[in-house]
């Protein structure tokens, strides 16, 4: 007698895979609320795949330790299923329920096959542990997928929100949107300094219209950026100072040192043009 047949649960799975699958699919159809034919077909094939992998895993080794190597294909399958479901908008509970619903047909089958109370009890407990751990695995996989999405979005947000544009010869503009924390300050400084080297700019206008609050920390970060630009031979002008911000700056006693500040980007640009030796003239229309 094969090793795995000594384990009643494993034997039941192995001998009655097809029946369990049929009962499970019927059970899902009866329980489920989504009746779209395409989704039902997908559900049937996923169930078949999952059960097949489960039986294969039991055939290879332990039927209880789902972290063992023989369960790797099952874990992979569940991981993919979880990710797919996550992007399709299913809740983690729905995906876990999919796995947990396997208990019904399995328990039913065990009750039919095992007459000895002790053996039935043991097998039921084993089945519960096994299916529970697989169901929990799907929720963990779901969490991981969501976290990856969030991290990717954070990265993109950071990149998106620190453009440095060349306004004119030797004049750069750095429109800041959102709060300035130490992480962003690093990115801002690097972008600005690289652009200064690239363009040989002499003036950088840092516009803070989009910065919601300026407290002492934000002011510190701003001053650091200004100092770094200065070390590269570029002067900074801070523009876009809202009335609220001006009040906060004075109340907090923030020392802006000799940095030129302007309320609007237009004013800052005018000063920058003057400093770099340019002038703006309005062409007069010729009268006939």
Partner 1 sequence: MGRFLLVTIQVDMHDQLALTLQDDLTQRIVSDRAKGVLIDISSLDVVDSFIGRMISSIAGMSRVLDAQTVVVGMRPAVAITLVELGLDLAGVRTALNVEKGMALLQESVG
Binding flag, residue 183, partner 1 (CB under 8 A): no
Distances (CA, A) of 230 to 96, 204, 210: 57, 10, 23
**Separation between Cα atoms, residue 276 and residue 56, nearest integer Å:** 75
Among 211, 234, 249, 272, binds partner 1 (CB under 8 A): 234
Binding flag, residue 222, partner 1 (CB under 8 A): no
Give the tokens for residue 100.
């947990």
Among 84, 184, 224, 275, binds partner 1 (CB under 8 A): 224
Give the tokens for residue 109.
């089958």
**Separation between Cα atoms, residue 235 and residue 174, nearest integer Å:** 13
Q: Which residue has the tokens 């200004």?
A: 226
Return the range that interacts with partner 1 (CB under 8 A); candidates 58-66, 76-84, 189-197, 274-282: 189-197
Residues in 190-209 that interact with partner 1 by CB under 8 A = 190, 193-194, 196-197, 200
Among 1, 231, 283, 285, binds partner 1 (CB under 8 A): 231
Binding flag, residue 163, partner 1 (CB under 8 A): no
Binding flag, residue 189, partner 1 (CB under 8 A): yes
What's the start-to-end Cα distance of the chain, in Å?
111
Q: Give the CA angle between residues 39, 79, 154 to the nearest 5°.
A: 100
Among 186, 260, 270, 276, binds partner 1 (CB under 8 A): 186
- Whole-number minimum distance, CB 285 to partner 1, in Å? 39
- Whole-number minimum distance, CB 176 to partner 1, in Å? 17
**3-state SS assignment for residue 261:** strand
Number of residues lying near partner 1 (CB under 8 A): 17
User: Do β-strands 171-177 and 260-261 pair in parallel, antiparallel, or remain unpaired?
Assistant: unpaired
Give the tokens for residue 233.
């031979």
DSSP assigned state of 238? E
Nearer to partner 1, 10 or 196 (CB): 196
Return the range that interacts with partner 1 (CB under 8 A); candidates 85-93, 172-180, 220-228, 279-287: 220-228
**3-state SS assignment for residue 166:** strand
**Separation between Cα atoms, residue 55 and residue 103, nearest integer Å:** 14
Binding flag, residue 181, partner 1 (CB under 8 A): no
Among 77, 232, 256, 259, binds partner 1 (CB under 8 A): 232
Interface residues with partner 1 (CB under 8 A)? 186, 189-190, 193-194, 196-197, 200, 224, 227-234
């Amino acid at each position: 007698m094969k090793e795995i047949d000594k384990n009643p649960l494993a034997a039941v799975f192995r001998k009655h895979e097809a029946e369990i699958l049929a009962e499970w699919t019927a059970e899902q159809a009866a329980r489920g609320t989504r009746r779209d034919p395409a989704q039902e077909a997908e559900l049937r094939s996923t169930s078949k795949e999952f059960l097949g992998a489960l039986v294969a895993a039991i055939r290879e080794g332990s039927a209880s330790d789902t972290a063992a190597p023989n369960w790797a294909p099952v874990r992979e399958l569940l991981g993919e299923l979880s990710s797919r479901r996550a992007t399709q908008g299913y809740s983690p509970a729905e995906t876990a329920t999919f796995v947990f619903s396997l208990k019904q047909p399995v328990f039913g089958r065990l009750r039919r096959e095992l007459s000895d109370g002790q053996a039935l009890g043991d097998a039921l407990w084993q089945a519960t542990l096994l299916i529970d751990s697989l169901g929990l695995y799907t929720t963990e996989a779901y969490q991981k997928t969501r976290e990856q999405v969030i991290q990717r979005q954070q990265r993109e947000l950071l990149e998106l929100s620190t453009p440095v544009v060349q306004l004119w010869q030797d004049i750069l503009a750095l429109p800041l949107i959102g709060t300035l924390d130490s992480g962003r300050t690093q990115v801002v400084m690097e972008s600005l300094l690289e652009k200064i080297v690239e363009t040989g700019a002499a003036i950088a206008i840092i516009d803070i219209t989009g910065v919601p609050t300026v407290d002492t920390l934000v002011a510190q970060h701003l001053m650091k950026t200004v100092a770094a630009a200065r070390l590269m031979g570029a002067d900074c002008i801070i523009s876009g100072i809202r009335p609220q911000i001006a009040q906060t700056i004075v109340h907090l006693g923030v020392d802006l040192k000799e940095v030129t500040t302007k309320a609007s980007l237009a004013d800052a640009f005018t000063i920058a043009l003057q400093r770099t030796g340019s002038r703006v003239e309005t062409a007069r229309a010729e009268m006939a």
